[in-house]
Structure 1
Amino acid sequence: MQSCSRTEATRLLCAGVYLDSDFRHKVIEELVEHEERPIAPSLGIDAGAVLSHALRARTQELHVACVMLAAWAAFFAFEVDTGGLHIDFADGRWLDMPVLWAPAYAVVCCLLWAGRVSTGRSIAVYTLDRATLKRATHGIRRLTLLLPLFPRTLMLAYWATVLFILFTKGHNLYAVYFPLLMTSVVWLHRSRVAWIMSHQLDRDVFPRLPPPPLPDTRTYRRIGRAIAREQYAGLALYDPSRPFVGAGKPYEPWSFAIELKPKRGAEVSDRPLGTRTIVDLIRPRLEALRESMAVTSRDRLGDLEIDEIVYLPAGAVPRTSVSYDTATVAWHIRNAVDEGGEARRHFLRIRISAWQEHIVVTLLVRVHTQGGMLVLEVAPHVLTPVRPEFTAVDVIAARARLVLRDGLQALLTSPTATFASGVSAIGTAAAVCRTWLADPQRALPDGPVTSVRELGSVEEISLFQEMDVSRYVKTLQDRIASGVLDALRTEGYETGEFEQQIVNVSGGVFIGAMSGGAVAVGGGATAEDRGGRGGRT
């Protein structure tokens, strides 16, 4: 499997950790907090690069939270020192209860943050404006509900009251200064994120830059080495209840078993028909498809990748005890291909990346011949597109020099970002403490639960994408079937039953020799045999 560190999907996922705190939290949880789990096969992405950006984004938000905490402390301290603002009425009486601006602003910020949470929009410190999010998601969300009217009205009332009293009474300058100070912190954070988007994650720049390093600590060096040796390896640890984590959603898997019967009058080799023989006949047909497509068209089938992978059950040994060196992987492939066991399983893996790595089609093919039987299992899987809001990285990169526009955006989003940074800091502290207490390096071995690519994917695909997936799967299945068929013919075995199975899998009807009778096809169809006088279907 070739390196996928600089693909378009990797770029978008790296951008996504800055735009969606929930996605970032899940990436760090899977790769850091559960170090006992091996990483799932990374198809079309580099999980190490995504983790590096996720940790950087978390650190930046932690810095924002620390500065915000200091600003809030100074805001409340100044409020206590001045005693708030007593409102002077026309008859000379003073209001007994002073107006406290810091608690009032805190309540409004909390309500705005709660409103954003209730609508399901990202609560990262860097938030997308409404127009950008609508363009990125093609209007699939109900954006009119993203910023509830009531908290926004309260914020307008706060600023109207503060500015009115400031210009008429000359009081409460601090009620303006501290919110603007928080806005400047958010503005600075947004500028840093925009710089990363334009200088490191830009579409033209990203492929030329090396992946960013992980933090230089013992823990992260260990995690980085584990990701590097596992994500593209020919071995994959799995949990029996989660066999193909990382490959995406199953797409019409099928299998069948036929008896190996020597063809009448044909010479059958003394050597039993082995799995390696069939695999070696399937693979050239797939490679020929790649070569022909690369010459005659720009079809993605010309870029298909073919390799062999062995799945090993997790839990028997710790993750660190599994060797991924070339000799060990080759030994497993060589010995597992004819094994046909329940635990260690050998697969021929065919991968097609389409739609700029938004769609990844993977076929996992297993063949085993034991006890006079041939069993063929084909498990297609599809990785759905990366979430559309992550494509806003290109918009952010293009606007990186619009300083005043981003400053206004910071003013509008700073109330929500104020609380978002605090919540992010609390979550970071809890995660670090939880990881330290759990000591995942020494936890019971487990298989992967999800992959970084799956965490950043949508649920559905478009009609065009569905049509392409169907075409890829059917084309590859035809080549796989032809390879098995040739193997049976070459070794002198009957092929009629196999051909029938293949036609049935393809949704058709196989008819061998037939004298009389009737055939019905389709839902609700009927068939009647009239003794050779014709049939009614």
Structure 2
Amino acid sequence: MIDSTETDGSKSGEQHVPFFYTPTPPQPPPTFSKITRMLCSAAYLNNDFARTVIDEVVGDEQRAVANSVDFDLDPVVRHSFQARKMLFIRDCVLTGLLLVGLITFPFVTLAWILVAAGLLHRSKYRGAPKYTRGPRGTAYFVAAVIVFCCLGIYSPLLLLLASLAPENNNPTGQAGDDPLSGALPVIDAFLTFALALPLALAVGTLAALAVHRMMAFRTILQAFGADVPGSAPQLPNERIAQRLHWVRGTQNGNVTVHARNPLLGAGASVGNASWTMALSLRTDPTLLPPTDSTPQPRVSVHDSVDPYEIHVAIRKRVWALTDSALPEHQRVPGVRVADHIVADGERREGDPLLEPARRPHSVASPEAIAAIIRHPQGGLRYYQRITIGVEGKPVVTGDGRLVLPAQNQEVVISAFVHVAVEGGRLYAEFLGMMLPPILEEYHVADRLRKSAALRFGEAVSSAVKLWPDTVKAPLHAARSLWQIATLSNRMDRAREDSQQNLVHDYGARISVRELASEETPQKFLQSLDAEKYLKLVEKAVSEALIDYLEEHHVDTSEYRTRMTYIQNNSTTISESTFVNSAVAVGSHSSASN
């Protein structure tokens, strides 16, 4: 982390440390954070989530992991293994029921498959305009009606039993002239079976889904309650345990080795909260100190402006948002400032960022950070990451009485600041990002009551919603079986690839937190909070830059002009009419674009 008391990134007398290293894993926390609990719940409720977490975190031992913000990745992976086992058993049961239906009443089952496909197609486009849905969903339902009406009563098992009846093999040829005349009692007796079996299979399918949900809810409530001590299941083998031991040490490092997205895990850009600018470094004569009659050599602004010192000044100004001198209700909640170094995932053998075991280091030393900031051409990019988790604060009266408890908006707001001095110019970059809240369906531990009756009702309701998805059970079961059978081979293949190739991609590809998040903010206040706090941070960054430049006698008129333009052209009120427009308030105010 940048040290605000030193300008060279190292402290006098400090023991020498490597420029890049992998830290010792910390002790697991006694209880899970709220985000950890919801991500663990997601593993039990979503087939694809558990498999993807295992594939990305464990399936490639050489790959880096994205930074974990407010959660611990270790228990999420452990519970993903247990959840995958439960889901695999459920999918096998559902596959068996589907096979019984296809053998006994294939066309009734086929009609159900077509109906389910239509329902799944419609759910995919839920909320979208009707003209975007296409005719495919309707075609599924029409085909289901045709199949059921024309061939729904047909059962090869029924005809087989009828053909084996003794009356059909009568050698006299009297009663057996009609192949089915002697089988009428068998057919009459079997009609009940013909009507009851599809219903029984449907009930069995719902029961399998409901039982699995009940077991998942019980596990979630027992293991992920708000006041329950954190615990995690055992892992399948020691090799996976060693991988997770390494992950625990790297998940909160200051180096992000990425495959495609250098800001992986931060969400998406917020409106017009991002900007860049390049400024000429020119001396402002009005800022120069008065001199006596003896001429003194002056230091060039190109030599005096240090991007490392600029970041130190920005850090101090951002921390002022939480200054203890401010009244408690005026302090910005949850402000954190951290170093964020991004590196491309494709690294060559012997790269300083790689361990001897060919895994990416996750921490850069203060000395390395200072050098990276001052040498922006080196292939590593430094950002100062300012994170605001909108935990909220309680509303109290002047005498301390509680009006409203703290409300958590469940979003993570991040500002990434990059500063470089090159070619006699200052380059500044500000990126505003927001990570949306966790999907509502994963809030089970906080939403569900512990009453068995209520859990049963919730399980049945979930089973009804998931019923169409049962037609994909064979595919889910096959994918889980393939992942279980090939995990060790895929880990071996990834290690061999890194050893056999001079250049290998070690970059993280997904963020587990983003994988379980909504695509966009779900509440308007979440968007407004993001805009508000990013504006506060942007103001602090701008003031720090101006003050620093003026202290070093740099002409800031160009910077002020550009910041005025940015602020006047970045007003976004998405539910009103002010979009990318200047806004003026007051009787003597004016605004222009």
Task: State the TM-score, normalizing by the size of structure 2.
Answer: 0.65
Separation (CA, whole Å) in 1 of partners of 2:495 and 2:231? 25
Separation (CA, whole Å) in 1 of partners of 2:449 and 2:91? 24
Q: Is the alpha carbon distance of 1:191 and 1:302 closer, same or farther for their aligned partners in structure 2, counting shifts above 3 Å?
A: closer
Query: Any conservation in 1 of the 2:62–2:360 contact (CA below 8 Å)?
Result: no
Query: Any conservation in 2 of the 1:350–1:363 contact (CA below 8 Å)?
Result: yes
Residue 53 of structure 1 deviates from its aligned partner by 2.6
Map of 1:40-51 to 2, 5 A cutoff? 40-51=66-77
Separation (CA, whole Å) in 1 of partners of 2:347 and 2:85? 36
Residue 357 of structure 1 deviates from its aligned partner by 6.1
Partner of 1:372: 424
Partner of 1:119: 122
Partner of 1:321: 358
Match of 2:550 among 479, 489, 511: 489
Partner of 1:38: 64
Q: Is the alpha carbon distance of 1:172 and 1:293 closer, same or farther for their aligned partners in structure 2, counting shifts above 3 Å?
A: farther
Q: Is the alpha carbon distance of 1:400 and 1:200 closer, same or farther for their aligned partners in structure 2, counting shifts above 3 Å?
A: farther
The answer to whether the aligner puts 1:19 opposite 2:19 as a matched pair is no
CA-based RMSD of the aligned residues comes to 4.4
Separation (CA, whole Å) in 2 of partners of 1:256 and 1:297? 34
Match of 2:518 among 458, 461, 472: 458
Which one is further off, 23-32 or 398-407? 398-407
Separation (CA, whole Å) in 2 of partners of 1:210 and 1:229? 18
Partner of 2:279: 258
Match of 1:350 among 379, 386, 398: 386
The answer to whether the aligner puts 1:273 opposite 2:292 as a matched pair is no
Separation (CA, whole Å) in 1 of partners of 2:540 and 2:439? 32
Separation (CA, whole Å) in 1 of partners of 2:105 and 2:569? 73
The answer to whether the aligner puts 1:422 opposite 2:442 as a matched pair is no
The answer to whether the aligner puts 1:470 opposite 2:531 as a matched pair is yes
Secondary structure at the residue paired with 1:228? Answer: helix
Query: Any conservation in 1 of the 2:413–2:433 contact (CA below 8 Å)?
Result: yes
Separation (CA, whole Å) in 1 of partners of 2:466 and 2:562? 63
Residue 16 of structure 1 deviates from its aligned partner by 2.3
Partner of 1:310: 341
Q: Is the alpha carbon distance of 1:109 and 1:400 closer, same or farther for their aligned partners in structure 2, counting shifts above 3 Å?
A: farther
Partner of 1:514: none
Secondary structure at the residue paired with 1:337? Answer: helix
Partner of 2:179: none
Partner of 2:217: 194
Q: Amino acid of the residue matched to residue 86 of structure 2?
A: Q
Query: Any conservation in 2 of the 1:294–1:302 contact (CA below 8 Å)?
Result: no
Separation (CA, whole Å) in 1 of partners of 2:322 and 2:462? 50
Separation (CA, whole Å) in 2 of partners of 1:343 and 1:404? 56
Separation (CA, whole Å) in 2 of partners of 1:293 and 1:212? 42
How many residues were matched structurally? 459
Identify unmatched segments of 5+ residues in structure 2.
2-25, 128-132, 159-184, 290-297, 349-353, 392-407, 498-503, 571-579, 583-591
Separation (CA, whole Å) in 1 of partners of 2:459 and 2:433? 45
Partner of 1:82: none
Secondary structure at the residue paired with 1:458? Answer: coil
Secondary structure at the residue paired with 1:212? Answer: coil
Separation (CA, whole Å) in 2 of partners of 1:278 and 1:404? 59
Q: Amino acid of the residue matched to residue 347 of structure 1?
A: Y
Separation (CA, whole Å) in 2 of partners of 1:452 and 1:415? 27
Secondary structure at the residue paired with 2:279? Answer: strand
Secondary structure at the residue paired with 1:361? Answer: strand
Deviations 1:505-526 (A, max 9, x none): 21279xxxxxxxxxxx979xxx
Secondary structure at the residue paired with 2:253? Answer: coil
Q: Amino acid of the residue matched to residue 267 of structure 2?
A: G
Partner of 1:386: 438
Q: Is the alpha carbon distance of 1:151 and 1:198 closer, same or farther for their aligned partners in structure 2, counting shifts above 3 Å?
A: farther
Residue 479 of structure 1 deviates from its aligned partner by 0.7
Q: Is the alpha carbon distance of 1:210 and 1:331 closer, same or farther for their aligned partners in structure 2, counting shifts above 3 Å?
A: farther
Q: Amino acid of the residue matched to residue 467 of structure 1?
A: L
Task: State the TM-score, normalizing by the size of structure 1.
Answer: 0.71
Query: Any conservation in 2 of the 1:41–1:247 contact (CA below 8 Å)?
Result: no
Query: Any conservation in 1 of the 2:439–2:517 contact (CA below 8 Å)?
Result: yes
Separation (CA, whole Å) in 1 of partners of 2:325 and 2:442? 31
Residue 112 of structure 1 deviates from its aligned partner by 5.5
The answer to whether the aligner puts 1:291 opposite 2:343 as a matched pair is no
Residue 344 of structure 1 deviates from its aligned partner by 0.8
Deviations 1:342-392 (A, max 9, x none): 511111110011263631111111112244322211112111222233335
Partner of 2:264: 245
Partner of 1:531: none
Q: Amino acid of the residue matched to residue 90 of structure 2?
A: V
Partner of 1:130: none
Deviations 1:393-416 (A, max 9, x none): 544444544476468658857965
Q: Is the alpha carbon distance of 1:321 and 1:296 closer, same or farther for their aligned partners in structure 2, counting shifts above 3 Å?
A: same
Q: Amino acid of the residue matched to residue 196 of structure 1?
A: T
Query: Any conservation in 2 of the 1:53–1:212 contact (CA below 8 Å)?
Result: yes
Residue 236 of structure 1 deviates from its aligned partner by 1.1
Q: Is the alpha carbon distance of 1:423 and 1:398 closer, same or farther for their aligned partners in structure 2, counting shifts above 3 Å?
A: farther
Partner of 2:87: 61
Q: Amino acid of the residue matched to residue 67 of structure 2?
A: P
Separation (CA, whole Å) in 2 of partners of 1:116 and 1:294? 56
Residue 445 of structure 1 deviates from its aligned partner by 1.9
Query: Any conservation in 2 of the 1:197–1:396 contact (CA below 8 Å)?
Result: no
Partner of 1:338: 374
Separation (CA, whole Å) in 1 of partners of 2:494 and 2:441? 32
Secondary structure at the residue paired with 1:118? Answer: helix
Query: Any conservation in 1 of the 2:95–2:473 contact (CA below 8 Å)?
Result: no
Q: Amino acid of the residue matched to residue 369 of structure 1?
A: V
Query: Any conservation in 2 of the 1:36–1:440 contact (CA below 8 Å)?
Result: yes
Residue 213 of structure 1 deviates from its aligned partner by 4.6
Q: Is the alpha carbon distance of 1:59 and 1:295 closer, same or farther for their aligned partners in structure 2, counting shifts above 3 Å?
A: farther
Q: Is the alpha carbon distance of 1:44 and 1:448 closer, same or farther for their aligned partners in structure 2, counting shifts above 3 Å?
A: same
Q: Is the alpha carbon distance of 1:263 and 1:182 closer, same or farther for their aligned partners in structure 2, counting shifts above 3 Å?
A: closer
Query: Any conservation in 2 of the 1:337–1:346 contact (CA below 8 Å)?
Result: yes
Q: Amino acid of the residue matched to residue 548 of structure 2?
A: A
Secondary structure at the residue paired with 1:362? Answer: strand
Secondary structure at the residue paired with 1:483? Answer: helix
Secondary structure at the residue paired with 1:297? Answer: helix
Query: Any conservation in 1 of the 2:314–2:541 contact (CA below 8 Å)?
Result: yes
Q: Is the alpha carbon distance of 1:392 and 1:344 closer, same or farther for their aligned partners in structure 2, counting shifts above 3 Å?
A: same
Residue 64 of structure 1 deviates from its aligned partner by 2.6
